[in-house]
Structure 1
């Protein structure tokens, strides 16, 4: 059976920092533009709504309480009006959308997750994933997710899977998607990752992202969309208001991430964007996934399933399980007499 050839887009875009409503409007604009240019899939970076919590890397937690409150205030429910607006845009423009967002929950006013949704061209949510493990300083912002979203979605343009940032360092998470017949792998990244590597130099997220995304494309023999955010001046201005010279130096000198596309050998194809904001495009002929599997098919013959046995728990974790009595046996509170 012949596989399709598809045009895909990735938004190398800056969030309207800590402003969920403006982020939604910007996302809808990019969705319309990508569809008008013939893309059948458009991808957004990690935590595009409302922006990546760079502040957690710059200052000790005691200085970040106000930032956390702002982040929670601008996080969104997966069934809330913001995601509904993105779903409507996908349906209106008949395009598949992958979106990174900070997710809130009715179970707690302070719990948020680093999440991603895949939405089809009819506006249906195909998959809802919460990042398994917040990375490094992200642990001061986001809660750990679960395995429920480790799913590959079968779409008219191929089988699509997605992981968020550091999850692409986890070979078992990546394998769980490869084992579901993935054709297109989305890896979502922040625009900047302020830290240092041994020797005092800033962590080279440009190289690190490329290595991890390339490894998955090569190992799973899939096309990759390496989609990073963009740092704009408004975001920098907000973060630099502290006046902390160390933080300002780190912000100014940390490498900016790039948005790229990879073929099933791990080679770059299509557009690359790093120092300018916009939509990047590539064309994937999914039939090109077939021949490389003749060399190594890690979910087929190039494995030893008698030696390795991987179990994936995809149950959605809930904070509590309530076992209510029969509703018919409950008192009808609405029928109680009014108080004088």
Structure 2
């Protein structure tokens, strides 16, 4: 039976940078703390494991091979031990968990995806999403994903969906989730998003951009929003800058992202964080109903005779072997599939 009210937690926290096992340990501890504080849903930032590759913005491609090698080696498989620990923690504390991670591709040692998992309160994977299009300099790190994760999970705390960072700028991806009766939208972001040198007045204000995108989606979908960004601790900054004072200055002066919550009108609710910590908000799903009378873009406030959207949710693989070689297919397609159909 669905509950209309629950508490959500936003983990505005730093990873143990490039240390996947230690970051998983930290996630498990945060899940336990949030559960003790009454949270039914705990959300972690984009690429929380093993950290966000900020270095891809700060070094020329020909100067970042070592950074990429370290990042690739620290990235994890979707069915690896780090994810297994998080799934066990979700089950043990009976909370839903959303976690971002850099996913290794089993078909190639250099292939990575920017991925996110939604895990149920029994430890089952409900949604495994790979970011459709890496944004700007992320293209030097991650490969494009596919539509297999464009799903909304029907759970006891409501219909949960989410997108990663710049995907929240894609109106078709957002509409795909709206059209699956999404009630809570999760947006995950990096700790900083440098686009220009320090002091440039036209530097990208990721805090303002994230709020605009999240508020627009909540207003259009008439859903609640959970926006979660990461943090960089001193160890991460030192690892990324590698003793280069110019790089360190860019990291220090780039606008830090915030974590916050929004209601179905796009208004702020609950905690807002820019320093490391766990924020909380109370969510009442009944608040999604009245605004739908004004403009419901997946029902009466649309023209389906004029517009037609088709979404391909097949999981992409580089090769499929015939002749019954199931082990080979499993290797290339290695993926955590939803335990059951979670949305229309």
TM-score range, shorter chain: over 0.9
Q: Are 2:291 and 1:285 equivalent residues in the alignment?
A: no
The structural deviation recorded for 1:312 is 0.5
Residue 163 of structure 1 aligns to a residue whose secondary structure is strand
Match in the other structure for 2:29: 29
Match in the other structure for 1:136: 136
Q: Structure 1: how far apart are the matches of 2:2 and 2:102?
A: 38
Pairwise mapping of residues 162-311 of structure 1 onto structure 2 (< 5 A)? 162-196=162-196, 200-245=201-246, 247-274=247-274, 276-311=275-310
Residue 98 of structure 1 aligns to a residue whose secondary structure is strand
Shift of the 219–81 alpha-carbon distance from structure 1 to 2, 3 Å rule, reads same
Unpaired segments ≥5 residues, structure 2: 327-344
Please report the RMSD computed on the Cα atoms of aligned residues, expressed in angstroms.
Answer: 1.7
User: Do the aligned partners of 1:202 and 1:253 also contact (CA within 8 Å) in 2?
Assistant: no
State the Cα deviation string for residues 127-161 of structure 1 (Å, max 9, x = none).
10000000000000000000000000001000000
Residue 114 of structure 2 aligns to a residue whose secondary structure is strand
Q: Structure 1: how far apart are the matches of 2:131 and 2:13?
A: 21
Q: Structure 2: how far apart are the matches of 1:84 and 1:204?
A: 36
State the Cα deviation string for residues 105-142 of structure 1 (Å, max 9, x = none).
22111101000000001100001000000000000000
Shift of the 199–211 alpha-carbon distance from structure 1 to 2, 3 Å rule, reads same
Pairwise mapping of residues 318-333 of structure 1 onto structure 2 (< 5 A)? 318-324=317-323
Q: Structure 2: how far apart are the matches of 1:326 and 1:72?
A: 28
Match in the other structure for 2:49: 49
User: Do the aligned partners of 1:147 and 1:313 also contact (CA within 8 Å) in 2?
Assistant: yes
Pairwise mapping of residues 64-213 of structure 1 onto structure 2 (< 5 A)? 64-196=64-196, 200-213=201-214
Q: Structure 2: how far apart are the matches of 1:231 and 1:96?
A: 25
Shift of the 199–70 alpha-carbon distance from structure 1 to 2, 3 Å rule, reads closer
Range that drifts further, 72-81 or 170-179: 72-81
